[in-house]
């Protein structure tokens, strides 16, 4: 039995007993604590059928206190948290409130950054809501929020009273952040605070080119106070784009603590989020979309020396490089360009470097040729999923082609739309040509439309279903069914999708999911909220947190690069927004 569960629907009812009188409503993201008691209860569904349901007794806490009651287990996921809060110490209110300010609000479901800093003339608590900047500085200085506020208030030239005195509850810009830091002798003049914009024109991010590896290097000596955009109701990072207001977006300060590259322009970042006063993980790509949007507002804060020393232990450079920007491949350093290359191309470096015309160059191998590329566009290449998954006997010879591009014996021309067929081959663990030969016999009409002769067409879900008639899978009724069949609540008839619910089905099934991939990404087929339709296989989900973070991690097989890839659960679900897919039983 999980220590806590979290609500995955907009409203769940807490009842005095199963199907009984309602005590209160529980909103999405709220936590409950199971007591260990549960009951199987028969309920009538929307379709007139009777279904067995599980009800769980639990404790739910809100501003009115603790409530004990029963909820339907179907509406809750186990709460799995890699980074349990709190991080910055926050005092709780006590019976004797003399001198205890600040303290946490009474409602445990409030954002952690909401604090009571005093009372007005009527004795009413004055809650301050915009304390993300203050919590971030307290975090990097390693002090509790009470100690930080006292230090700031007493610092020479402090803007504490202007910002938080009386009824004031100012939001923080970079200048106010710097004022908070000045009491600890941190400043631009002292060299331990650097505006992010300054590093964009320096060696750390040469040519204003960002990558996870470059962040990783800078983060060994500094933390980054970054202004991002969050959903004001959950604290979750959201993209800093034109739709942010529609999505309830507000500006917010967080601390970027680490970056772990994986593949090209991928990997994870770890942040401190003051909204819920805990560390969280996001994909690098998702963090950049929230931090960037053309703004990149933030400042680097130098770390303590013992932290810096530990960060550099065991460091080694890789000779395998990826290009973080498009560029030109040259015969000699600063010479005439002979080939252009795309962002994301992987090259082998010889280890030989040379400085020419004030620029550093590396000797690399690209498309079978040795030549030179500017160091400013090269990044060490690290990939946890470097092995091709499906054998493709006749790939195209062009290194810039997607791995799913191929030639098929007996058919005409290059085949580019093989994602569905490769997904089926991945699940069956056979090579693509063996799969195609049997599919041609067992689903000939679909084969003819898709890839026969000069045909090169994508596959719909009906066509995808026929692929599992192929040996050695040989589907029988019940082996393959639509996505909604595994996610629909039988009583209400409503689709309830969550990381925890999907993880349970994935214990016995794969999910072949219809997603969108970026049209601009010619090499890796990265998932996106917009782009072209594409089939991938979801193999594993690792839930983490609830609706205030990224939801955990999803491991997929992506036919486009013929590799496994990792995405944040939220990131995957934005690409899988249509929820068109097939559950396929593992055999």
CA distance 512 to 473: 15
- Could you tell me which residues come within 8 angstroms of residue 173 by beta carbon, excluding any fewer than 6 positions away? none
CA distance 287 to 550: 10
Query: What pLDDT does residue 94 have?
Result: 66
pLDDT-based confidence at 425, cuts 50/70/90?
A: very high
Q: What is the pLDDT of residues 220-247, one digit of tens each?
A: 999 999 999 999 999 999 999 887 877 7
Q: What is the pLDDT of residues 500-540, one digit of tens each?
A: 999 999 999 999 999 999 888 888 899 998 899 999 999 99
The residue extents of the domains of the chain are: 5-78, 80-314, 320-376, 383-587
Tell me 221's DSSP state. Answer: T
Query: What pLDDT does residue 85 have?
Result: 74
Tokens of 405: 């591009």
For the cut 70, the answer to whether the pLDDT of residue 191 exceeds it is: yes
User: What long-range pairs does 194-198 form, CB within 8 A, spacing at least 24?
Assistant: 194/222, 194/299, 194/300, 195/298, 195/299, 195/300, 196/224, 196/226, 196/296, 196/297, 196/298, 196/299, 196/300, 197/296
Query: What pLDDT does residue 312 have?
Result: 46
- Could you tell me which residues come within 8 angstroms of residue 45 by beta carbon, excluding any fewer than 6 positions away? 51, 490, 491, 492, 493
Tokens of 182: 């000045």
Q: Which CATH number fits domain 383-587: 2.160.20, 1.10.101, 3.10.50, 3.90.70?
A: 3.90.70
Phi, psi at 419, each rounded to 5°: -65, -45
Nearest Cα residue to 61 out of 26, 13, 112 = 26
Residue 505, SS3?
helix
Q: What is the pTM of this model?
A: 0.91
pLDDT-based confidence at 97, cuts 50/70/90?
A: low
CA distance 275 to 236: 9
What is the mean pLDDT of the segment spanning 270-286? 96
pLDDT-based confidence at 294, cuts 50/70/90?
A: low
CA distance 238 to 236: 6
Query: What pLDDT does residue 578 have?
Result: 81
Query: What pLDDT does residue 577 have?
Result: 81
β 337-341/327-330 pair status: antiparallel
Kindly report the average pLDDT of the chain as a whole number: 92
Query: Burial letters for 182-200: b for 16+ Cβ neighbours within 10 Å, e otherwise?
Result: bbbebeeeeebbbebeebe
Nearest Cα residue to 228 out of 260, 199, 196, 205 = 196
Query: What pLDDT does residue 156 have?
Result: 95
Query: What pLDDT does residue 241 have?
Result: 85
Cβ-contact 188, 196 below 8 angstroms = no
For the cut 60, the answer to whether the pLDDT of residue 311 exceeds it is: no
What is the mean pLDDT of the segment spanning 127-156? 95
Tell me 415's DSSP state. Answer: B
pLDDT-based confidence at 319, cuts 50/70/90?
A: confident
Q: What is the pLDDT of residues 22-61, one digit of tens each?
A: 999 999 999 999 999 999 999 999 889 999 999 999 999 9
Percent of the chain with pLDDT over 90: 80
Tokens of 333: 């350093």
Strand partners, 50: 44
CA distance 394 to 411: 12
Cβ-contact 515, 539 below 8 angstroms = no
Which one has a higher pLDDT value, 307 or 276? 276
Q: Is the dihedral of CA 565, 571, 572, 578 positive or negative?
A: negative
pLDDT-based confidence at 208, cuts 50/70/90?
A: confident
For the domain 320-376, what is the CATH code? Answer: 2.30.30.40
DSSP 498-534: -HHHHHHHHTTEEEEEEEEE-TT-SSS--B-SSSEEE
Cβ-contact 174, 193 below 8 angstroms = no
Nearest Cα residue to 220 out of 334, 121, 88, 313 = 313
Query: What pLDDT does residue 386 have?
Result: 86
Query: Burial letters for 423-455: b for 16+ Cβ neighbours within 10 Å, e otherwise?
Result: bbbbbbebebbbbbebbbeebeebbeebbbeee
For the cut 50, the answer to whether the pLDDT of residue 330 exceeds it is: yes
Nearest Cα residue to 414 out of 425, 401, 424 = 401
For the cut 70, the answer to whether the pLDDT of residue 559 exceeds it is: yes
Query: What pLDDT does residue 393 have?
Result: 97
Query: What pLDDT does residue 1 have?
Result: 44
Q: What is the pLDDT of residues 363-413, one digit of tens each?
A: 999 999 999 999 999 999 988 898 999 999 999 998 889 999 999 999 999
Give the least confident one: 1-5, 137-141, 208-212: 1-5
DSSP 309-371: HHHTTT----SEEEESS-EEEESSTT--EEEEE-TT-EEEEEEEEEEETTEEEEEEEETTEEE
Phi, psi at 459, each rounded to 5°: -115, 135
Query: What pLDDT does residue 247 have?
Result: 79
Tell me 542's DSSP state. Answer: E
pLDDT-based confidence at 293, cuts 50/70/90?
A: low
In whole angstroms, how far apart are CA 81 and each of 6, 108, 544? 11, 17, 5
pLDDT-based confidence at 305, cuts 50/70/90?
A: low
Give the least confident one: 231-235, 246-250, 330-334, 341-345: 246-250
């Amino acid at each position: 039995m999980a220590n806590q569960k979290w609500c995955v629907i907009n409203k769940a009812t807490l009842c005095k007993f199963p199907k009984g009188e309602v005590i209160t409503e529980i909103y999405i993201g709220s936590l409950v604590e199971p007591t260990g008691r549960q009951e199987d209860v028969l309920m009538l569904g929307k379709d007139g059928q009777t279904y067995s349901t599980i009800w769980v007794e639990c404790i739910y806490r809100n501003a009115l206190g603790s409530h004990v009651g029963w909820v339907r287990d179907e509406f809750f996921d186990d709460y799995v948290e890699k980074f349990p809060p709190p991080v910055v110490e926050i005092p709780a209110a006590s019976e004797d409130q003399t001198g205890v300010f600040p303290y946490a609000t009474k409602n445990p479901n409030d954002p952690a950054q909401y604090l009571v800093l005093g009372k007005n003339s009527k004795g009413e608590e004055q809650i301050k809501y915009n304390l993300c900047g203050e919590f971030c500085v307290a975090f990097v200085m390693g002090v509790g929020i009470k100690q930080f506020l006292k230090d700031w208030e007493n610092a020479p030239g402090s803007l504490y009273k202007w910002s938080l005195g009386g009824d004031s509850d100012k939001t923080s810009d970079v200048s106010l952040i710097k004022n908070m830091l000045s009491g600890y002798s941190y400043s631009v003049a002292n060299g331990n605070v650097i505006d992010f914009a300054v590093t964009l024109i320096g060696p750390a991010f040469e040519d204003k080119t960002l990558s996870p590896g470059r962040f990783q290097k800078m983060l060994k000596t500094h933390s980054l106070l970054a202004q991002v955009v969050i959903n004001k109701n959950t604290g979750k990072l959201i993209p800093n784009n034109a739709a942010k207001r529609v999505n309830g977006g507000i500006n917010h300060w967080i601390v970027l603590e680490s970056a772990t590259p994986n593949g090209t322009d991928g990997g994870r970042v770890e942040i401190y989020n003051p909204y819920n006063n805990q560390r969280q993980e996001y994909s690098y790509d998702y963090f950049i979309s929230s931090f960037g949007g053309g703004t990149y507002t933030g400042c680097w804060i130098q770390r303590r020396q013992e932290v810096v020393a530990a960060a550099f232990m065991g460091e080694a450079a890789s000779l395998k490089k990826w290009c973080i920007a498009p560029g030109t491949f040259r015969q000699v350093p600063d010479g005439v360009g002979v080939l252009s290359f795309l962002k994301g191309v992987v090259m082998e470096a010889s280890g030989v470097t040379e400085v020419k015309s004030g620029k550093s160059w590396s000797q690399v191998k690209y498309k079978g040729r040795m030549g030179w590329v500017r160091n400013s566009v090269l990044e060490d290449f690290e990939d946890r999923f470097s092995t091709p998954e499906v054998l493709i006997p006749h790939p195209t010879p062009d290194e810039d082609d997607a791995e799913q591009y191929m030639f098929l014996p007996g058919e005409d021309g290059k085949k580019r739309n093989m994602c569905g067929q490769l997904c089926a081959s991945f699940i069956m663990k056979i090579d693509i040509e063996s799969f195609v030969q049997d599919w041609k016999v067992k689903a000939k009409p679909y084969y003819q439309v898709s890839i026969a002769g000069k045909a090169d067409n994508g596959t719909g879900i009906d066509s995808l279903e026929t692929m599992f008639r192929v040996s050695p899978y040989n589907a029988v009724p019940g082996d393959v069914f639509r996505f909604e069949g595994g996610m629909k609540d039988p009583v209400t008839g409503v689709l309830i999708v969550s990381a925890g619910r999907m993880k349970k089905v994935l214990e016995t099934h794969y999910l072949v999911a219809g997603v969108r991939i970026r049209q601009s990404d010619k090499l890796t087929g990265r998932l996106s909220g917009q782009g072209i339709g594409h089939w991938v296989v979801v193999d594993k989900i690792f839930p983490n947190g609830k609706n205030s973070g990224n939801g955990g991690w999803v491991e997929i097989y992506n036919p486009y690069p013929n590799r496994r890839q990792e995405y944040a659960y939220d990131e995957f679900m934005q690409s899988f927004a249509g929820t068109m897919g097939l559950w396929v039983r593992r055999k």
